[in-house]
Amino acid sequence: MHANIVVLPGDGIGPEIVSATLPVLEAVAARYGHTFAFQEHDIGGIAIDRHGEPLPAATLAAAQKADAVLLGAVGGPKWSDPNAKVRPEQGLLAIRKGLGLFANLRPVRPHPAALGASPIKSELLAGVDIVVVRELTGGIYFGDKTRSATDATDLCRYSVAEIERVVRSAATLARQRRGHLTSVDKANVLETSRLWRDVTARVMREEFPEVTIEHQLVDSMAMHLLSKPRAYDVIVTENMFGDILTDEASMLAGSLGLLASASLGAGKVGIYEPIHGSAPDIAGKGIANPYATILSAAMLLRHSLGLEAEAAAIEAAVSAALDAKVFTADLAAPGQAANTAQAAQAVIARLG
């Protein structure tokens, strides 16, 4: 297979973790007889500095023509003024919308070797295997906004079609896994959540009768996610709730540096990125954890390129590196940490 992959290193540790991940993809290509062509473009703060905007037209055009997009991270203190009219995060929102990506998949499967790094009791974490599916293009993040000297508003809006398509994506995934879908809303208060619950119930009843559906309010879900995480299989929710719950769920894995994500739409192209941020405090030091980005590359192979065996090989290699306690600073005891390049090489050395 020949595939064109657009690479968006972005800001902070983004260039470091992406640079560590590309050799892993190249090693997979060599072992399985593929050719991956990488094309680098700017997004986020670096794009603001170089082009005056967080998503240059050339970046979006390249992404639209690509087979997949691998992204590092965006943002940092240099561009952190919340009142600024141009911000790095706008580039991320715009490219998702420009590619028609509406479902963000975030797997959470704690690795046994890293359980000690989690603040959650280890006995609660054994056997946890969750995928959170977050709606990406609607809700309060994209609603009309107003600001005056005395008040501000953010409109939360959802259409039936937006809810249907992300629920179908999540339910399809649940059907392939353990057959249980949890839909998270705030239907006791919000009208958008009442619509969300009604549409979800109808789609599940009419199209996925074999999948068990459970409805949870977001506040209780925040508690249950930490107190009984083994009870959940696939979780689907709207944009802001998903943003918050997935960061909470990262604590189950012990480190944000272990969690990958895929942003998908109706077609094959997707954006694949670690869920952690740009970590400006450690940028340039060569100590960032590359595992989440490498695992995101595995999701790229699976979802955009249809290369299941190759994706599984990367995941097994990361698991083997963790079994061998090749830990970066976020996971290791003081003085025992591998650097970014060493962690990536440990994965390459264990590719089957």
3-class SS string, the chain: CEEEEEEEEECCCHHHHHHHHHHHHHHHHHHHCCEEEEEECCCCHHHHHHHCCCCCHHHHHHHHHCCEEEEEECCCHHHCCCCCCCCHHHHHHHHHHHCCEEEEEEEECCCHHHHHHCCCCHHHHCCCCEEEEEECCCCCCCCCEEECCCCEEECCCCCHHHHHHHHHHHHHHHHHCCCEEEEEECCCCCHHHHHHHHHHHHHHHHHCCCCEEEEEEHHHHHHHHHHCHHHCCEEEECHHHHHHHHHHHHHHHCCHHHCEEEEEECCCCEEEEECCCCCCCCCCCCCCCCHHHHHHHHHHHHHCCCCHHHHHHHHHHHHHHHHCCCCCCCCCCCCCCCCHHHHHHHHHHCCC
According to the CATH classification, is domain 1-110+254-352 in 2.40.160.40? no
Would you kindly state where each structural domain of the chain is located, as residue ranges? 1-110+254-352, 119-253
Q: Is the pLDDT of residue 254 over 80?
A: no
Q: Is the pLDDT of residue 85 over 80?
A: yes
Mean pLDDT confidence for 156-160: 97
Per residue in 159-180, pLDDT tens? 999 999 999 999 999 999 999 9
Residue 70 pLDDT class (50, 70, 90 cuts): very high
Per residue in 191-219, pLDDT tens? 999 999 999 999 999 999 999 999 999 99
Catalytic residue annotation? 141, 186, 219, 243, 247
Residue 33 pLDDT class (50, 70, 90 cuts): very high
Per residue in 97-120, pLDDT tens? 899 999 999 999 988 888 877 888
The pTM of the full predicted model, rounded to 2 decimals, is: 0.92
Segment among 81-85, 125-129, 235-239, 347-351 with least mean pLDDT? 81-85
The per-residue pLDDT for 121 is: 87
Same topology, domains 1-110+254-352 and 119-253? Answer is yes
Q: Is the pLDDT of residue 303 over 90?
A: yes
Q: Which CATH architecture has domain 119-253?
A: 3-Layer(aba) Sandwich (3.40)
The per-residue pLDDT for 24 is: 98
